[in-house]
Amino acid sequence: MSSMAKTADDAERERPGPPGQHSFVVVASRLPVDRIENPEGEPEWRPSPGGLVTALEPVMREAEGVWIGWSGDAGPAAGPFRANGLDLVGMGLSADLVRDYYEGFCNATLWPLYHDVIAPPQFHRRWWDAYVAVNWYFAQAAMAQAAPGATVWVHDYQLQLVPRMVRSQRSDVRIGFFNHIPFPAYEIFAQLPWRRQVVEGLLGADLLGFQRRADAGNFLRACRRATGRRTRGPAVRVTDPAGTREVRAAAFPISIDSAALEEIARREDVRKRAAEIRLALDQPATLLLGIDRLDYTKGILHRLKAYGELLNEGRLGPRVVLVQVASPSRERVEAYQALRDDVELTVSRINGDHAEVGSPPVHYLHQSYPREEMAALYLSADVMLVTPLRDGMNLVAKEYVACRYHEDGALVLSEFTGAADELAGAFLVNPHDIEGLKDAIVRAATISPGEARRRMRAMRRRVREHDVAHWAATFLDALGRTPR
Ligand code: G6P
């Protein structure tokens, strides 16, 4: 990995290697598989759950593409190899790069900055250097896999410099970029010491996709303010050594494979498991559910506060239970450690105040589950609580809707998610407004079957028609129509 010390400008002076074999190349932070050890102690790859993976897997299989990504652990590169029916290239990151690039620049600089500085972003030049180096390393891998004229689809905030790096050496390929998280207002983005480089990095693409129109608008404004470029509608004019191009920035709201998830929810074993969950909880009158990565953007503490107050006030009636799944995430990043402490303290307080022997009001699960168990949880819940302070899309909201084939249940959904633009049948809330959040939870918990059906039916139609295949097809179609 001698290329790790290179800067973005060095990258552009390098000569490209021979072109690769794949006409479709996905470049993402994560591989769609996890490395595990089998009982014999040998490494094996198992499909990993997660939004991006769920979103792209069907498209990859259809297009016979290659997926370039990282396993999530420090260690050597792996591949190219085949696993779970996909061609994969595993990128290797040293422990120092995991610290400076992944935990540092990605998750302690960009993540909080792009989520409206809910936690204070940290700016360190050493982290930026690691970000440039890792982006260059991914760009090289993409170029090594891409056949002449290939389509390269780069994903998310971890790889914003890759489009320009690839374009600087491979003007033959079409480059798409999709940002899975919000793109912040310029007044916030402007804090980034490397804002111009990031905008230039993204402008290497032919098409830039964002979750919401507001995100695309924020990006276009960043182009004007950080680089002085003129924009016309969704288009930015860019002049580089290969000539003048127009880069488009537009909204392509991501979704889920709703039919596949519904099929899981309809399985007999999954329905049985849902009934078991309710039984294990002593058949609650109302089961509230939260499922999130344990992340400060998800509004878990606001949700717990509202729930605790509702219990104090006795407004939810007897035998109400909250199941909160908080899957472990980014556990070496300080803000995540502090959040875990706060969540666990709050859960303990609520349980301490309200539990009876054998029946705590909060069931807190700091674990990750396979899709079947998630589907059973969605099926078992009367009310789904999705209360992020900021979220690019939030696929959990869509997953809940996809599983509710009986057209019952209710969704409490934060206005500050991309999903709120689409799921008009939800009870929309501002999670900072605790009184408003409490009222919405009570309304959702006491909804009439008729109103629940009307709301759920509308949301299900949306999620069925605008599924992940629709998202990918719309993006790739728009990318294919960008001028050459
Ligand atoms: C979000 C991001 C993804 C990221 C995922 C899990 O959904 O948009 O790019 O992969 O979180 O985070 P992690 O840090 O574990 O990759």
Residue range 311-345, pLDDT digits in tens: 999 999 889 999 999 999 999 999 999 999 999 99
435 C-alpha to center of ligand 1: Å?
31
Q: Is 290 in the pocket of ligand 1 (CB under 6 A)?
A: no
Handedness of CA 207, 251, 178, 46 (dihedral sign): negative
Compute the chain's Rg from CA coordinates: 23
CA angle 52, 226, 419 (to 5 degrees): 30
The answer to whether 302 touches 415, Cβ cutoff 8 Å, is no
Decide if pLDDT at 70 tops 60.
yes
Decide if pLDDT at 4 tops 80.
no
Pick from 31, 180, 396 the residue to mutate for probing ligand 1's pocket: most ligand atoms within 8 Å of its CB: 180
Q: What is the pTM of this model?
A: 0.94
Tens-place pLDDT, residues 358-401:
999 999 999 999 999 999 999 999 999 999 999 999 999 999 99
Whole-number pLDDT of residue 1: 37
Reported as type and span, the H/E element at residue 309 is helix 300-313
Q: How confident is the model at residue 162 (pLDDT cuts 50, 70, 90)?
A: very high
Percentage of residues in the chain with pLDDT exceeding 90?
Answer: 84
Cα 178 to Cα 27, 182, 234, 272: the distances in Å are: 10, 11, 15, 38
Mean pLDDT (whole number) for 393-413: 98
Q: Is 130 in the pocket of ligand 1 (CB under 6 A)?
A: no
Decide if pLDDT at 77 tops 60.
yes
272 C-alpha to center of ligand 1: Å?
31
Whole-number pLDDT of residue 94: 98
Q: Is 104 in the pocket of ligand 1 (CB under 6 A)?
A: no
**Cα–Cα dist 432/255, whole Å:** 26
Preceding omega of 80 cis (within 30 degrees of 0): yes
Decide if pLDDT at 5 tops 70.
no
Whole-number pLDDT of residue 42: 80
Lowest mean pLDDT across 41-50, 187-196, 342-351: 41-50
Q: Is 23 in the pocket of ligand 1 (CB under 6 A)?
A: no
Decide if pLDDT at 2 tops 60.
no
**Cα–Cα dist 248/214, whole Å:** 14
Q: What is the DSSP string of 18-54?
A: ---SEEEEEEEEE-SEEEEE-TTS-EEEEEPP-HHHH
**Cα–Cα dist 326/379, whole Å:** 18
Percentage of residues in the chain with pLDDT exceeding 70?
Answer: 94
Q: How confident is the model at residue 9 (pLDDT cuts 50, 70, 90)?
A: very low
Q: Is 330 in the pocket of ligand 1 (CB under 6 A)?
A: yes
The answer to whether 211 touches 180, Cβ cutoff 8 Å, is yes
Strands (DSSP E) contained in 410-471 are 410-414, 427-429
Pick from 134, 329, 391 the residue to mutate for probing ligand 1's pocket: most ligand atoms within 8 Å of its CB: 329
Nearest residue CA, atom 9 of ligand 1? 156
Q: Which atom of ligand 1 is nearest to the CA of 330?
A: 14
Mean pLDDT (whole number) for 95-107: 98
Q: How confident is the model at residue 34 (pLDDT cuts 50, 70, 90)?
A: confident
Whole-number pLDDT of residue 21: 86
**Cα–Cα dist 214/267, whole Å:** 39
Nearest residue CA, atom 10 of ligand 1? 30
**Cα–Cα dist 185/267, whole Å:** 44
9 C-alpha to center of ligand 1: Å?
28
Strands (DSSP E) contained in 48-108 are 66-70, 78-83, 86-91
Q: Is 179 in the pocket of ligand 1 (CB under 6 A)?
A: no
Q: Is 182 in the pocket of ligand 1 (CB under 6 A)?
A: no
Tens-place pLDDT, residues 214-231:
999 999 999 999 999 999
178 C-alpha to center of ligand 1: Å?
13
Tokens representing 433 are: 């407004």
Q: Which atom of ligand 1 is nearest to the CA of 51?
A: 7
Q: How confident is the model at residue 84 (pLDDT cuts 50, 70, 90)?
A: confident
Decide if pLDDT at 50 tops 60.
no
Q: Is 169 helix (H, G, I), strand (E, B) or coil?
A: helix
Decide if pLDDT at 11 tops 90.
no
129 C-alpha to center of ligand 1: Å?
21
**Cα–Cα dist 377/278, whole Å:** 9
265 C-alpha to center of ligand 1: Å?
25
Whole-number pLDDT of residue 241: 78
The answer to whether 44 touches 35, Cβ cutoff 8 Å, is yes
Q: Is 327 helix (H, G, I), strand (E, B) or coil?
A: strand
**Cα–Cα dist 113/219, whole Å:** 14
331 C-alpha to center of ligand 1: Å?
13
Q: Is 30 in the pocket of ligand 1 (CB under 6 A)?
A: yes
Decide if pLDDT at 151 tops 90.
yes
Taking the CA of residue 461 as centre, how many other CA atoms within 13 Å lie in the half-sphere pointing to its CB? Answer: 7
Nearest residue CA, atom 7 of ligand 1? 51
Length of the chain: 484
Torsion angle in degrees (nearest 10) through CA of 271, 272, 276, 278: 30
Please list the active-site residues.
180, 391
